[in-house]
């Protein structure tokens, strides 16, 4: 079996009233991206899209173009983050618009980013606080959430495995009522013509849900899973730096910042660690890959910088991971991400590399 690549997709590239209220009028993810600055010489910030393509996902044509570009690169589908808070949705319009109005036939599924929204990004005079708390409610709330999802599940483009819609949950262990909630969803899915849901739990920096019987699979979310599980001196050094980030001057580009910033990990090291883990992972684990990581434009000096990513290294990593995934009969590999620009995890064209990451994917995936 040849493994397919699915790419995580971040929808916060259009304005919503809530972000206007919380972060200022006109806020989108591009606001975070544009505030990036280099901490030291050679630090690749700010990240800038090729041709200043600061797109707006409220325009369906933008997302449709992304699906065509992704298909050309060999990606088999998008995994859209969606945000659901006991009946309230955020950033839902691009995905709903694609479902209801697009004739593009690019497959997709949903990831429930189920954490509370908090002011945990860059410093603000308002201070840290919960902006929208995640409350899981009772059986009526779970039923209402399923029927919101059902319109997606019924879409012929929605990814299904053995007649089970693929539904991914970011931090399932945060859901204390998950046994009863998931049991109800499985029952409702069968009631509406499916053979249940194909539930996937993500392995992230929050750890892994040990209640394995609830899930059809687990997804290694990289590089956060590797950060969390690293046992080498790199982890100890990164932890030390995270406690001493006050030594970094975020307003200067200085060689002293190179010593103080959280730039302990190299891309090559993490790729090797991910490949080793993929070789020994369980049958239920689906591997993850990433093209790069630097979330300092979002988190300032608290962000982590992974140095040394290039299209050539990404291409080798993709080749290696596909060989491992094929050998272990993994149905999918998950790419983090298509467009996480303020985390430095994107394959879209930028001013430094142009389309090189997408071409690297196309070169590898066309030959399969």
pLDDT in tens, 96-146: 999 999 999 999 999 999 999 887 665 444 456 788 999 999 999 999 999
- b/e per residue, 216-247, with b = 16+ CB within 10 A? bbbbbbbbbbbbeebeeebbeebeebeeebee
Note the pLDDT of residue 121. 60
| pLDDT at 88 > cutoff 60 | yes
Note the pLDDT of residue 282. 82
Which residues does 134 contact at the CB level (< 8 Å), separation at least 6?
85, 86, 114, 115, 116, 174
| Strand ranges in 120-263 using DSSP code E only, listed in sequence order | 130-132, 166-169, 198-203, 217-220
Range in 254-258, 306-310, 333-337 with the lowest mean pLDDT: 254-258
Q: What is the mean pLDDT of residues 294-315?
A: 96
Please answer whether residues 269 and 290 qualify as being in contact, where contact means their C-beta atoms are separated by less than 8 angstroms: no
**Interval 208-224: pLDDT, tens:** 898 889 999 999 999 99
Whole-prediction pTM: 0.96
Please answer whether residues 107 and 155 qualify as being in contact, where contact means their C-beta atoms are separated by less than 8 angstroms: no
Average pLDDT over all residues of the chain: 95
**Interval 325-338: pLDDT, tens:** 999 999 999 999 99
Architecture of domain 4-10+48-227+267-300+307-366: Alpha-Beta Barrel (3.20)
Note the pLDDT of residue 125. 45
Max intra-chain CA distance, the chain: 62
In 3D, which of 223, 355, 193, 227 has the Cα closest to residue 291? 223
Q: What is the mean pLDDT of residues 74-87?
A: 97
Q: Which two three-digit tokens encode residue 336?
A: 């983090």
Q: How far apart are CA 311 and CA 347, in angstroms?
A: 9
Q: How far is CA 185 from CA 35, 140, 150, 152, in A?
A: 41, 12, 10, 14
Q: What is the mean pLDDT of residues 44-65?
A: 98
Between these two residues, 207 and 338, which has the higher pLDDT value? 338
How much of the chain exceeds pLDDT 90, in percent? 86
């Amino acid at each position: 079996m040849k493994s397919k690549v699915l790419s995580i997709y971040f929808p916060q590239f259009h304005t919503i009233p809530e972000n206007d209220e919380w972060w200022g009028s006109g806020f989108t993810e591009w606001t975070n991206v544009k505030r990036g600055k280099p901490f030291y010489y050679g630090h690749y910030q700010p990240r800038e899209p090729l041709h200043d393509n600061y797109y707006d996902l409220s325009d369906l044509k933008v997302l449709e173009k992304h699906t065509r570009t992704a298909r050309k690169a060999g990606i088999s589908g998008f995994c859209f983050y969606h945000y659901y808070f006991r009946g309230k949705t955020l950033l839902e319009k691009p995905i709903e618009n694609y479902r209801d109005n697009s004739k593009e036939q690019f497959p997709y599924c949903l990831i429930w980013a189920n954490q509370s929204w908090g002011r945990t990004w860059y410093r603000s005079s308002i201070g840290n606080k919960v902006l929208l708390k995640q409350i899981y409610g009772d059986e009526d709330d779970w039923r209402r959430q399923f029927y919101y999802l059902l319109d997606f599940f019924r879409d012929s483009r929605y990814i299904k495995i053995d007649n089970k819609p693929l539904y991914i949950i970011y931090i399932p262990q945060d859901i204390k009522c998950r046994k009863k909630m998931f049991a109800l969803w499985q029952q409702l899915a069968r009631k509406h013509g499916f053979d249940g849901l194909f539930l996937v739990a993500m392995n992230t920096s929050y750890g892994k849900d040990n209640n394995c019987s609830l899930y059809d699979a687990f997804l290694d979310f990289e590089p956060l899973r590797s950060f969390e599980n690293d046992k080498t001196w790199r982890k100890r050094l990164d932890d030390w730096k995270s406690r001493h980030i006050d030594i970094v001057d975020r307003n200067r580009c200085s060689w002293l910042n190179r010593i103080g910033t959280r730039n302990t990990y190299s891309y090559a090291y993490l790729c090797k660690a991910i490949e080793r883990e993929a070789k020994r992972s369980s049958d239920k684990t689906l591997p993850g890959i990433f093209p790069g990581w630097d979330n300092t434009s979002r988190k300032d000096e608290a962000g982590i910088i992974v140095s040394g990513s290039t299209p050539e290294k990404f291409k080798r990593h993709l080749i290696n991971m596909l060989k491992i995934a094929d050998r272990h009969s993994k149905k999918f590999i998950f790419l983090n991400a298509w467009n996480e620009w303020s985390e430095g995890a994107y394959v879209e064209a930028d001013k430094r590399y142009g389309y090189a990451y997408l071409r690297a994917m196309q070169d590898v995936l066309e030959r399969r």
